[in-house]
Amino acid sequence: MSHPNNADQAQASQPAKATIIHFKGWQQLAQPAAQPAPQGDGANSSRSPGTEGHGLVNYRIGSQNLNSGLLRFEPGAKVQLHFHNVEEQVTVVEGEGVAIVNGERHVLHPFDTTYVPAGVPHHFMNESDAPMTIHCTYGGVYIEQTFPETGETRRHGKLPEQS
């Protein structure tokens, strides 16, 4: 059985098929701010110091309209204020977190879920003393993450030039 994180995965041009994604462990996603953000499928993309990720569903396994993954936050870790070109759904699966969505602060517990329309500023943080894990789903296979404070835009997923 092939694994969806292998380089020889199915391409989006092939018909989508049901797939089981086995957890292969966390991948370090932090990188110094001075380095340019990588471009790609989001599975190994830069997030923030103290976070680790695991890509799940994306165009590489045949998804036509969504991208998902897990993001784990160590105590004190956060993702800076940003917005996306697509809608996003986030569910806390472990620990307690804080979401600031459109300027409003929300304390989140396991299985609490946010829905954030495209263009709405938001960020997530772990203010607790224990790890927090979220499951993120995006409504597209190409995702832009724009940080208003710096103007930086990170691109993830199937880039338009790959279409």
C-beta of residue 114 within 8 angstroms of C-beta of residue 135: no
Domain assignment present for 32: no
Terminal-residue alpha carbon distance, the chain? 27
Task: Specify the CATH number for the domain of residue 63.
Answer: 2.60.120.10
- Give the number of domains in the chain: 1
Domain assignment present for 57: yes
3-state helix, strand, coil in the chain (%, to 5): 5, 35, 60
Domain assignment present for 102: yes
Three-class DSSP category at 161: helix
Q: What is the pLDDT of residue 159?
A: 86
Q: What is the pLDDT of residue 18?
A: 58
Rounded CA separation 6/23 (Å) = 13
Domain assignment present for 18: no
Domain assignment present for 1: no
Domain assignment present for 134: yes
Domain assignment present for 27: no
Rounded CA separation 66/70 (Å) = 14
Domain assignment present for 77: yes
Q: Print pLDDT tens along the chain (163 aa).
A: 444 443 334 444 456 675 556 667 666 554 333 333 333 444 444 468 899 999 999 999 999 999 999 999 999 999 999 999 999 999 999 999 999 999 999 999 999 999 999 999 999 999 999 999 999 999 999 999 999 999 999 998 888 887 7
> pTM value?
0.75
The number of beta carbons lying within 10 Å of the beta carbon of residue 133 is: 20
Q: Domain range for residue 42?
A: 37-162
